Amino acid sequence: MVRYVYDFAEGGRGMAGLLGGKGANLAEMTRMGLPVPPGFIVSTEACRAFLATGAEPEGMSREISAHLSAVEAAAGRRLGHPDDPLLVSVRSGARPSMPGMMETVLDIGLDDASVLGLAEASGNERFAWDSYRRLVQMFGSTVMGVEASLFEEAMAVLKEARDAPDDMHLDARDLAELVEMFKKLIYDATGHDFPQSPAEQLRRAVLAVFRSWNGERARLYRRREHIPDDLGTAVTVQRMVFGNLGPDSGSGVAFTRDPVTGRPGLYGDYLPDAQGEDVVAGVRNTVALTELRRLDPHSYDQLRQYAQALESHYRDLCDIEFTVERGRLWMLQTRVGKRTAEASFTIAAELADEGVLTPDEALTRVSGDELARLMFPRFDTSATGPVLARGVPASPGAAVGAVVFDSATAVRRAATGEKVVLVRHETTPDDLPGMVAAQAVLTSHGGRTSHAAVVARGMGKVCVCGAGELRVHAGTRSFTTLDGIVVEEGTVISVDGTAGAVYPGAAPLVDSAVTRYLETGERSGDLTEAVAGALQQADAVRRLEVRANADTPEDAARARRFGAQGIGLCRTEHMFLGERRKLVEEMILARTDHQRRRALAALLPLQRRDFIGILAAMDGLPVTIRLLDPPLHEFLPDRTGLAVRIATAEARGGLPDPHDVELLEAVSRMHEENPMLGLRGVRLGLVVPGLVAMQVRAVAEAVVERTRAGGTPLAEIMVPLIGCVEELRLERDEVERVLAEVSAETGVPVRCPVGTMIELPRAALTAGRIAEQADFFSFGTNDLTQTTWGFSRDDVEAEFFSAYLDKGIFPASPFERLDREGVGRLVELATAEGRAAHPGLKTGVCGEHGGDPDSLHFFHATGLDYVSCSPFRVPVARLEAGRAALRPPADRVTGAERP
């Protein structure tokens, strides 16, 4: 018999898969002896069963009743009893934290009779009616599906009529009137009454929370955070405690350290006489937690003690939701808290310094994505205009964009490539699509723990919230600053999420301190120290080498400063552009050997100079130079342009330029429908005489020159886009011939390993044979993805990937994150068969995936020797390679899963 319900006392933090993060942590706090209101958890297994069949799992209801009886017995009260009712909350909680993305129903147990009992028992009539009002509203929208805005509008109308600036100014009679209005709204919208049976309320609320797992915003959030769709949510049912019982009550959110900077010390927001949802929703502005010390020193001291206990127990920053009910502190939630990238690094370093974490553990607490975020530029505040507004620096970074006032506009304008800043009074979970689309989020309401702040931090999105001086008029699509400046929709502003400032126009940007440190070694504070420590540890433990994709001496030098151990891909085609394109054009269009040789001879010294510069910048480290790869048409003039030129000349009655006519004829002859799969890569080398010889000679002569200059040039030659061993053999013969020729001519022996890219399925499938001719394999996962899926890499992402992502066909673009199952399988197979045929065969990756953390963990697990990525990704790859070495792949914890 499957069991679906667990008492808090039965669970623990290790059970998050079954009980959800919230449930597991409530159980853990219960076991630690902290004051947690009693309750129980309906498991994720029950949710999965319900979502799979659409029917309530067999026996779940019975189990809920039994556990409810235990809570009732402990409280000495019955759910919804007319005299002194017990009320419960019903909250969602999946294994990963998904703040605000699913549903919650509070105050279950109130009906027309028990509301009077609650008023009597609490001695607070307003409180009782306010609780009932909240229940009817939440139940109506969440469980019965009534449009939430209908309730809000009704409430706004009543507030206006009573001249009440906020809901605190509505009295018990007003609230009772609202309850009646809400009940009528529900009946009118659904044809059903608000249920007066507490047991039915509970049952339906649990199922509604289950259903909210598949709600639109939850699905969008999961896609964005790469959270699997099949986890399901648990449901926590817990005795309600009340922060809205008067001035000696309140609710708050606390962090054991500052989640923005990482600085130690209890930190957070408090809202007197309020329930927790008011704090998170940002409907009223909170006060700093230090205010609680003044209002209720005893509760504050207890909270500090519990916070310390939690931090030492979890060995990490924890966030806490708590309520003070008439001077008594209750712990309602804890979890390992979300934090900014800066805080992640500084907290890991501090905990390591304090001896709480080993250096290896500290490394697992930071991620490459976080490091990448810290490498973003910031605003040059010495050159910004006067501040438009100030607010809470809720999520750091600098962003520039046009102001928009609603989520749909943000999505629409961003889809055209425009950068936008979403400006709201406060955000709700429905704003999520707009937040994803925007560069930054700016709100006039709410604190660091508001929905906007929590979600933005989770996404690494710039956010300033609680900019109280701003008046946001969503209706007229403008906001007004304290100085009376009116900013209309479409106006460009700059948002500094690190300083909490907003500037007019596009403010100038400067490099980040972390990037400066990586470039120059200059350490300028705790953050750079922490980054340095993490990278040092990663370098000490990683097995994967990290190289860079670089094709200029400048990029090579930068990559080296960033810690690259060589160049894994030098794309020589980038050296054939600009003025040199003419020479390539001549070479391709040459009618005679003589013409072709002349063009190649003109290219040779230019190529040699490039290689000398790159080999000098990477002296002593391997430099993999790839022979020319791109489709030919990239070097030829545009066909349409030529045709137009000729037609125009003819229309004017003249004769067209004969060179144009000749070019058009050649270009038309070479035209390819899909050039990415045409005369490219090794095919080009085998078809255009003298091309490979010229490139290899340039490499060899550069090696000779560097050797004579006292350097240690370690050039490697790589053949692109081969499909079979014969192609490689022919190309290799040519390479060896030229190397021998240059060695003989110069008296300097030039030995370059010759390897190949594996970027076609046929190459992967015949890797054993290919390896006989190759000194190394480098997986070109861009082309391997294109050809394995049959996706044109230049077209499909814009065309239909968003539909594929929406339908959940893949969780992320396979061009961004390696498709382990398909493309990855080819990488595994080719590596194994290549090595079997050629022991010691060196293997690496030089497609974009080399710098993607998730893919990199796969390459580590596959046993590749190196990854190669763009210079700016090199530090990220070093860090992730270290993390990969510490964690078995199945146990990998992503940012999304960490809490």
Return the active site residues: 451, 846
- Minimum Å gap between C-beta 578 and ligand PEP is 18
What the block records as the tokens of 142 is 């969440």
224 versus 820: smaller Cβ distance to ligand PEP: 820
Query: Would you call 140 helix, strand, or coil by DSSP?
Result: helix
Kindly tell me which residue out of 783, 819, 833, 852 binds Mg ion, with binding defined by CB under 5 A.
Answer: 783
**DSSP category for residue 80:** T
- Interface with Mg ion (CB under 5 A), residue total 3
Kindly tell me which residue out of 780, 814, 844, 899 binds ligand PEP, with binding defined by CB under 6 A.
Answer: 780
Q: Binding to ligand PEP by residue 514, rule CB under 6 A? A: no
Binding mask 845-864 for ligand PEP (x = CB under 6 A): -xx-----------------
Residue 516 binds which of ligand PEP, Mg ion, none (CB < 5-8 A, kind-dependent): none
- Minimum Å gap between C-beta 823 and ligand PEP is 10
Kindly tell me which residue out of 781, 787, 788, 855 binds ligand PEP, with binding defined by CB under 6 A.
Answer: 781
Rounded to 5°, angle at Cα 679 from 570 and 569: 10
Cβ neighbours for 523, distance < 8 A, ≥ 6 positions apart: 517, 529, 532
- Interface with ligand PEP (CB under 6 A), residue total 10
Positions in 757-776 near Mg ion (CB under 5 A): 759
Q: Binding to ligand PEP by residue 325, rule CB under 6 A? A: no
- Minimum Å gap between C-beta 575 and ligand PEP is 13
What the block records as the tokens of 50 is 């319900």
Q: Binding to Mg ion by residue 780, rule CB under 5 A? A: yes
125 versus 629: smaller Cβ distance to ligand PEP: 629
Contacts 24+ apart (CB under 8 A), 261-265: 261/340, 261/342, 261/343, 261/346, 262/317, 262/339, 262/340, 262/342, 262/343, 262/344, 262/345, 262/346, 262/347, 262/350, 262/526, 263/346, 264/350
* Closest-CA residue to 26 (of 238, 338, 197, 185): 238
Kindly tell me which residue out of 319, 629, 705, 775 binds ligand PEP, with binding defined by CB under 6 A.
Answer: 629
Kindly tell me which residue out of 162, 571, 598, 729 binds ligand PEP, with binding defined by CB under 6 A.
Answer: 571
21 versus 847: smaller Cβ distance to ligand PEP: 847
Q: Give the number of other CB atoms < 10 A from CB of residue 503.
A: 23
* Closest-CA residue to 111 (of 188, 47, 193): 193
Task: Please choose, out of 79-87, 600-608, 780-788, 795-803, the segment that lies near ligand PEP by the rule CB under 6 A.
Answer: 780-788
**What's the Cα-to-Cα distance from 367 to each of 93, 147, 378, 673, rounded to whole Å?**
24, 40, 20, 42
281 versus 846: smaller Cβ distance to ligand PEP: 846
- Minimum Å gap between C-beta 751 and ligand PEP is 25
Q: 620 in the Ramachandran plot: left (φ > 0), alpha (ψ -120 to 50) or beta?
A: left
Contact 219, 225 (CB under 8 A): no
Residue 847 binds which of Mg ion, ligand PEP, none (CB < 5-8 A, kind-dependent): ligand PEP
Contact 501, 387 (CB under 8 A): yes
Q: Which stretches within 488-590 are classed as H helix? A: 513-520, 526-541, 553-561, 581-589
368 versus 847: smaller Cβ distance to ligand PEP: 847
Positions in 736-765 near ligand PEP (CB under 6 A): 759
Q: Are strands 392-395 and 39-42 parallel, antiparallel or unpaired?
A: unpaired
- Minimum Å gap between C-beta 724 and ligand PEP is 17
In the sheet that holds 398-404, the strands lie side by side as: 389-390, 501-504, 492-496, 398-404, 420-424, 440-443, 462-465, 392-395
Q: Which helix (H) or strand (E) holds 625?
A: strand 622-626
374 versus 784: smaller Cβ distance to ligand PEP: 784
198 versus 780: smaller Cβ distance to ligand PEP: 780
Kindly tell me which residue out of 411, 530, 569, 823 binds ligand PEP, with binding defined by CB under 6 A.
Answer: 569
- Minimum Å gap between C-beta 571 and Mg ion is 9
Q: Which residues pair with 322 in a beta bridge?
A: 252, 331
Q: 226 in the Ramachandran plot: left (φ > 0), alpha (ψ -120 to 50) or beta?
A: left
Q: Binding to Mg ion by residue 21, rule CB under 5 A? A: no
Which sign does the torsion angle of CA 356, 361, 365, 366 carry?
A: positive
Q: Binding to Mg ion by residue 551, rule CB under 5 A? A: no
Q: Binding to ligand PEP by residue 480, rule CB under 6 A? A: no
Q: Binding to ligand PEP by residue 93, rule CB under 6 A? A: no
Q: Binding to Mg ion by residue 250, rule CB under 5 A? A: no
Task: Please choose, out of 22-30, 407-415, 553-561, 779-787, the segment that lies near ligand PEP by the rule CB under 6 A.
Answer: 779-787
Residue 781 binds which of ligand PEP, Mg ion, none (CB < 5-8 A, kind-dependent): ligand PEP
d(CA 563, CA 368) in angstroms, rounded, equals 14
What the block records as the tokens of 454 is 């929590």
Cβ neighbours for 152, distance < 8 A, ≥ 6 positions apart: none
700 versus 846: smaller Cβ distance to ligand PEP: 846
405 versus 779: smaller Cβ distance to ligand PEP: 779
Task: Please choose, out of 304-312, 534-542, 778-786, 880-888, the segment that lies near ligand PEP by the rule CB under 6 A.
Answer: 778-786
Query: Would you call 570 helix, strand, or coil by DSSP?
Result: strand
- Minimum Å gap between C-beta 500 and Mg ion is 45
Residues that bind ligand PEP (CB under 6 A): 569, 571, 629, 759, 780-783, 846-847
Residues that bind Mg ion (CB under 5 A): 759, 780, 783
